[in-house]
Amino acid sequence: MGDTDTMALFDNTFMGYEDPRPSGARGLRRLLSRHPREADLTRRRFRPGPAQARLEDTEMSHVLGFNALLAEELDLIEELPHSLRGSGYEGAATACATLDLLTPGPARNLAGLLAGPAAGYRQSVYFGAGRARARLRLSPMWGMRAAHPLQRWFALDGYAFQRALTGADRLVGEQRAPRLGSGSERAIFDMGLGRLLWFHDCAVPDAVAERVTAFPANRRPDLWGGVGYAAAAVGGADAAGLERLVTYATLAGFQAHLAQGAAFAAAAMLAAGPLPERGAETVQALTGTDAEEAGAWPVAAAGLLGRDPHSAEDFRAWLAHTREAWLKR
């Protein structure tokens, strides 16, 4: 994995405990705590490569955030590098949603996280809520009615990511997909699967493009959207690799979907604070414009949805309006 800052933080967090779960957690919270080795992508038989440390840092931050929430030590997330805090809050959201789903009474943990320290990480929080449902083998949108009517669909994206992370043989290798209620829901699922493909093939643009092309044609647009999001938000490819990624997407006819994913990643990163230099450069490479302009496309696109957008179809229209903004740039 490499001696990264995030790994060092985990070493400090778990040092001195025979049981590596956080000492601040008790009862159910301690039982639910996760081991940092869950972030090891090699044990999942994912492709190794130069970007492996970066990708594993992202998952390590997710695990740290999960355990930090259970131990009521959310300040640990703020110690992460700025570019990894979204993953930390995604993990915290996974823990919050897990507690909400497993304990009686109103579901307050996730709402409290959104209203407090994770207010600038809404997409990450909903990704995390979906990952919790996948881990608990629940329906992806179970209990999400009280969430934001449109952004809650990011939970389905997160659900797909987690399902594919732990079941790559079926969902990636065999290209299986769970039964969902509508074509729009299946499309959102494939966006999350596309994000996972970036991890599965270690951010190698040639391998990721080949993987997407192996899927049925009707699934490729949304897979490219997920790839664009992960490439911008997580990183791992150099300038030459990003240029090849754009070329592959363009030749396949899905450059707009790649740019759409990068635009949503830009919007998420900008909501959390100043964009890291790496993120800004990646968004520029994938969209052809600066991150501020690209990040404004989803914001403007949401205003075109009319009154009370809430369905999976509304969510897909949001994506389509964002692609139209890219075409008109």
Same domain, 138 and 279: no
Q: What is the pTM of this model?
A: 0.92
Same domain, 218 and 143: no
Q: Is residue 183 part of a domain?
A: no
Instruction: Flag whether pLDDT at 161 surpasses 80.
Output: yes
Q: Is residue 77 part of a domain?
A: yes
**Of the residues 109, 137, 166, the one at which a domain ends:** 166
Q: Is residue 133 part of a domain?
A: yes
Q: Which residue range(s) make up the domain with 95?
A: 1-166
Q: Is residue 193 part of a domain?
A: no
Same domain, 148 and 47: yes
Check residue 314 and give its pLDDT: 97
**Of the residues 141, 166, 191, the one at which a domain ends:** 166
Q: For 256-286, how does the pLDDT look when each residue is reduced to its tens digit (9 = 90+)?
A: 999 999 999 999 999 999 888 889 999 999 9
Same domain, 158 and 278: no
Q: For 205-236, how does the pLDDT look when each residue is reduced to its tens digit (9 = 90+)?
A: 999 999 999 999 999 999 999 999 999 999 99
Q: CA-CA distance, 298 to 83, in Å (whole number)?
A: 21
Q: CA-CA distance, 68 to 191, in Å (whole number)?
A: 28
Asked whether 18 and 35 are in contact (CB, 8 A), the reply is no
Give the type of residue at 202. Answer: C
Same domain, 146 and 208: no
Task: Tell me the C-alpha to C-alpha distance, in Å, between residue 303 and each of 185, 196, 299, 319.
Answer: 22, 29, 7, 12
Check residue 291 and give its pLDDT: 96
Least trusted range by pLDDT, from 35-39, 101-105, 297-301:
101-105
Share of the chain above pLDDT 70, in %: 92
Instruction: Flag whether pLDDT at 255 surpasses 90.
Output: yes
Check residue 3 and give its pLDDT: 33
Q: Is residue 259 part of a domain?
A: yes
Q: CA-CA distance, 184 to 316, in Å (whole number)?
A: 7
Asked whether 98 and 135 are in contact (CB, 8 A), the reply is yes
**Of the residues 166, 182, 217, the one at which a domain ends:** 166
Same domain, 86 and 218: no
DSSP label at 141? T
Same domain, 114 and 238: no
Q: Is residue 177 part of a domain?
A: no
Same domain, 238 and 159: no
Same domain, 72 and 137: yes
Give the type of residue at 321. Answer: H
Q: For 298-314, how does the pLDDT look when each residue is reduced to its tens digit (9 = 90+)?
A: 999 999 998 889 999 99
Q: Helix, strand, or coil here: 281?
A: helix
Mean pLDDT value across the chain: 91
Check residue 307 and give its pLDDT: 87
Residue burial 189-225, b: 16+ Cβ < 10 Å; e: rest: bbbbbbbbbbbbbbbbbeebbebbeebeeebbbbbbb
Least trusted range by pLDDT, from 56-65, 150-159, 176-185:
176-185
Same domain, 269 and 323: yes
Q: Is residue 107 part of a domain?
A: yes
Domain count, the chain: 2
Q: For residue 304, is it left (φ>0), alpha (ψ between -120 and 50) or beta?
A: alpha
Q: Is residue 181 part of a domain?
A: no
Same domain, 261 and 207: yes
Same domain, 9 and 63: yes
Exposed, middle or buried by CB within 10 Å (0-12, 13-18, 19+), for 308? exposed
